[in-house]
Chains A and B, each alone.
Chain A
Amino acid sequence: MSIRFEKVDFEYSPNTPFAFKALTDIDLELSKDKMTAIIGATGSGKSTLVQHLNALLLPTGGKVIVDEHTIEAGKKFVKTKDLRHKVGLVFQFSEYQLFEETIIKDVSFGPKNFGISEAEAIEKAKRALKTVGLDESYYERSPLELSGGQKRRVAIAGILAMGPDILVLDEPAAGLDPQGAEQMMTLFRKLNKEKGITVLVVTHNMEHVLKYCDEVVVLDHGKLLMHTDMTTFFENEKYMEEANINPPSIIRFKAMLRQRGLDIPSDILSIEDLARYLSRRKGK
């Protein structure tokens, strides 16, 4: 059981004057049951990479393996529906995918497309809505009259109701206010840790990566720059420099304290832990 990219290339509109190579020679094995962040500058190929996971894009070179499915360049892939049932993909600004008259109808739309009976789909929709924190009073309301953050929750519930093993999110927190964003990320963390869903998040927010993710994949100009666990990534200034990212505040603050002669263990990654650790040292 695995999620693997083997020598994957991808080119948009090949053999035309608009051809554009978005991914080059990607070799990557993603850990199941983990929450992995996919980071990199705009145009580095993050969105292109994740769209391979449910065969929205097919590799123009190499192969993508998701559990029992293998998508190989140049070969016809027929199990698209099975794969999309397994891999739930939430797009950027997903609130724009809502279209049914009521929320419950919209959330049960996905499961029904995968051949699940009406009654069961409604059951799944109800559970998904509960997971994202929307109660019964929302079922019969129109998704269009909700606030931006609530709409996004409905859209995510629409994917969760499909019951995916792998959940892929493309900048799920973009445009939300800070607390809305934190709640969203906490939800994904919970889905990962409690329900064992493999979560992949494309994000620009390093504070989120630090706080919620286990592993980090860095892309740069369509190439894989590194794939490492979160602590290692943030402990190595060189890595962050290479990835051209601005370290999260806590990492910068730790560096400042170290410069002043305080040594701080690498596994301290939150303000609370730092305060606890240093107050204990103060006593000595």
Chain B
Amino acid sequence: MNAVEVKNLYYSYDKEKYAVNDVSFTIPYGSYTTIIGHNGSGKSTIAKLLLGLLEKEKGEIKIEGLDLTYENLGEIRNRIGIVFQNPDNQFIGSTVRDDIAFGLENHCFEQAKMDSIIEEYAEKVGMTRFLDSEPTKLSGGQKQRVAIASVLAMGLNILVFDEATSMLDPTGKRDISNLINEIHNDKKLTVVSITHEIEEVAQSDYVIVVDNGKIALTGTPKEIFRHSDELIRMRLDIPFVYKVRNAFNAKGFKLSDTLDMEGMADEICQYVLKK
């Protein structure tokens, strides 16, 4: 069974053009999958469809084998959660504590257990010190930590990140991507990350490339980056090492498709220094 299965999915905002056009993909359990595409390619729409925040027009979505329908929306949201882009607009409670509690209240957790759950997840994301802080006192990165804790605390297995680091400064970005890696490692969570951060894509297990509402490419990062020209045509970035490789190979070098910067430096040095 896969964590997420999508078959022939369609969605349109204005009936003129499909924003999501015959999209099919699967996301295996425990994987770290990235979805890339330029702004307006339809990737965020896909994320909202997975959560049932938008109603699909046609097609099938299965979350841990369960069909996404109006009737079992509640159950679906027990299994899959999402962290959005804007840190301010998803901070619901008046303090960190209240914000984590919000999801627990909705899912009718036992009141007596809430405190210990809240404290456990606040610690997991390193926000114990700020439990009673108001959102205005927190940085963007800290607010995103709280959003992650709030979603994790509900005890679900699949986490979607919709450009969760794009509004953060470099420190916040680094913090949050490290945190995502951490929770992916120790809990066997399935992570689906919609992102523009090409280095994050390079480190993921699978990549789904969306262009114009359609799936353009799928595969491991190495398989995807083999299509550099196509990616650039789709207004996407490629990792630095691939840019180096392409530029040097155009000058007659024969560098491998390693994703490791150090390895690439070794190869270049061998070429230049051996004569």
Contacts and interface: CB of A to CB of B under 8 A. Distances in A.
In their complex, do chains A and B touch, with some C-beta pair under 8 Å? yes
Contacts of B174: 246
Interface stretch (B127-135, B148-156, B235-243): B235-243
Interface in A136-154: 147-149
Contact of B253 (A175, A245, A279): A279
Given A176-B39, A179-B38, A278-B272, A271 B251 contact: no
B198 A276 contact: no
B115 to A, nearest CB: 32
Given A252-B261, A278-B248, A278-B268, A148 B39 contact: yes
A275 B265 contact: no
B39 A262 contact: no
Contacts of B172: 42
B169 A253 contact: no
Give chain A's interface residue range (CB within 8 Å of chain B): 35 or more
Contacts of B250: 275
Nearest to A252: B261
Given A246-B170, A275-B247, A178 B196 contact: yes
A257 B268 contact: yes
Contact of A260 (B167, B261, B269): B269
Given A41-B169, A252-B261, A257 B269 contact: yes
B170 A178 contact: no
A42 B272 contact: no
Interface in B177-207: 196, 198
Contacts of A41: 169, 171
Contact of B171 (A42, A147, A176, A206): A42
Contact of B269 (A206, A245, A261): A261
B243 A279 contact: no
Contacts of B240: 249-250, 253, 271
Contact of A262 (B236, B244, B251, B269): B269
Contact of B272 (A149, A175, A179, A282): A282
Interface SS, A side: helix
A259 B265 CA distance: 10
Given A42-B139, A204-B170, A282-B271, A256 B247 contact: no
B171 A262 contact: no
Contacts of A252: 261
B59 interface: no
Contacts of A204: 169-170
B272 A180 contact: no
A281 B269 CA distance: 11
A275 B198 contact: no
Contact of A180 (B38, B139, B268): B38
A225 interface: no
Given A179-B237, A256-B262, A260-B265, A271 B247 contact: yes
Interface string A245-284: 1100110110011011110000000011011101101101
B157 interface: no
Contacts of B198: 178
Contacts of A284: 275
A68 interface: no
A174 interface: yes
Contact of B235 (A177, A245, A272, A279): A177
Interface string B7-45: 000000000000000000000000000000011100000
B110 interface: no
Contacts of A272: 247
A148 B86 CA distance: 14
A256 B273 CA distance: 14
B248 A261 contact: no
A256 B261 contact: yes
Given A42-B171, A204-B170, A253 B265 contact: yes
Interface of A: 41-42, 147-149, 174-180, 204, 206, 245-246, 249-250, 252-253, 256-257, 259-262, 271-272, 274-276, 278-279, 281-282, 284
